[in-house]
Amino acid sequence: MDATPTPTPTSTPTSTPALRMRHVTVRRGDVEILRDIDLELGERRFLAIIGPNGAGKSTMVKVLLGLVAPDRGEATVFGRAAGSDPVRVGYVPQLKTFDRSFPATALELVVSGIRRAWPGRVRRHEHDAACEALERVGAERLTDRPLARLSGGELQRAYLARALVRRPDLVILDEPATGVDFLAEHDLNRLLEGYQRDADATVVMVTHDLAAARHHASDVLVLNRVVIGFGPPERALSGDCLERAYGHVGHGHGLVVP
């Protein structure tokens, strides 16, 4: 399969790209999860990553977070090795990773985003910052609620507040919409756009929702172990790219076709 990465020119050619991958290959055993990924994304862009299940989307997120070291190639975020600057990155994980038996409130979850450790006693300024972040995502009434009692949509807001509370320059979301109803998903994309504008931030979102990718993203990466297509939505989401990524479009891949 011929991978034809088409790097998006950054707004000012001299500025450091928000993220850059050079020949990134990740193997698990004999399987190549990602092969020879070349990618460059300028600051203040909104990148949607789409691709079928098992395409390596989550692995790519883990590479960007510094959780998975590439077997070959290198990944940088704001010019430094991925994972070396966690304060500048806000991460919203898939909801399924969360352990519901853990005694915690939404407030504590958000404060963990400030402290980068779990809070024992929440300090005044942390409390204020966390409440502000919860308010920003429309979840101020969740503050003292136990996480175990939150719905999928509420949890997602709490996680988003956790990611945004440190005012990151890069927000990374791994399938944030899974298990969330349409309205909440629409809210999420609107909130992300709002934050991106206010903070001049870059957003990277793994999604199954082609409509969201088309409407909200400035760039789309179509991934299936290799880069199938990369560029503005209208180009990357052409029938040809999707055909190559998914085999055939819109049948049983959990895809939401626009």
Partner 1 sequence: MIAELSGMLDYAFMQRALVGGVAIALMTGLLGVFVVQRGLAFLGDGLAHASFGGIALGALVAYGAAGSGVLSQPLWVALPFTLTAALAIAWVRDRTELSSDTAIGVFFAVSVALGVLFLSRIPPDRNVVDVWHLLFGSILAVGPGDLTIIVVTSALVTGLLAAAWGRLAYATFDAELAASDGVPVRALDYALFAVAAVAVVVSAQVVGIVLMAAYLVIPAAAARLLARTLAAMTFGAIAIGTTTTVAGLVISFFADVPSGSAIILLQAAVFLVATIVGRR
What is the size of the binding site for partner 1 (CB under 8 A)? Answer: 27
Question: Residue 7 or 66: which CB sits closer to partner 1?
Answer: 66
CB of 32 to partner 1, least distance (A): 21
Which range of residues in 20-28, 42-50, 89-97, 226-234 is near partner 1 by CB under 8 A?
A: 89-97
How many other C-beta atoms can be found within 10 angstroms of the C-beta atom of residue 238? 14
Q: Could you tell me how far CA 202 lies from the centroid of its own chain?
A: 10
Residues 147-186: x/- map of binding to partner 1 (CB under 8 A)? -x--------------------------------------
Task: Kindly tell me which residue out of 15, 102, 135, 141 binds partner 1, with binding defined by CB under 8 A.
Answer: 102
Here the tokens at position 246 are 């998914």
Which range of residues in 9-17, 30-38, 107-115, 180-188 is near partner 1 by CB under 8 A?
A: 107-115
Residue 218 CB burial class (10 angstroms; 0-12, 13-18, ≥19): middle
Which range of residues in 42-50, 116-124, 178-186, 214-222 is near partner 1 by CB under 8 A?
A: 116-124
Q: Does 83 bind partner 1 (CB under 8 A)?
A: yes
Which range of residues in 82-90, 175-183, 192-200, 217-225 is near partner 1 by CB under 8 A?
A: 82-90
Task: Kindly tell me which residue out of 37, 63, 65, 171 binds partner 1, with binding defined by CB under 8 A.
Answer: 65
Q: How far is the C-alpha of 206 from the C-alpha of 210, rounded, in Å?
A: 11
**Helix axis angle, 106-115 to 152-164, nearest 10°:** 30
CB of 10 to partner 1, least distance (A): 25
Give the total residue count for the chain: 258
Q: How far is the C-alpha of 57 from the C-alpha of 72, rounded, in Å?
A: 17
DSSP 137: T
Interacting residues toward partner 1 by CB under 8 A: 65-67, 83, 86, 89, 91, 93, 97-99, 101-105, 108, 112, 115-121, 146, 148
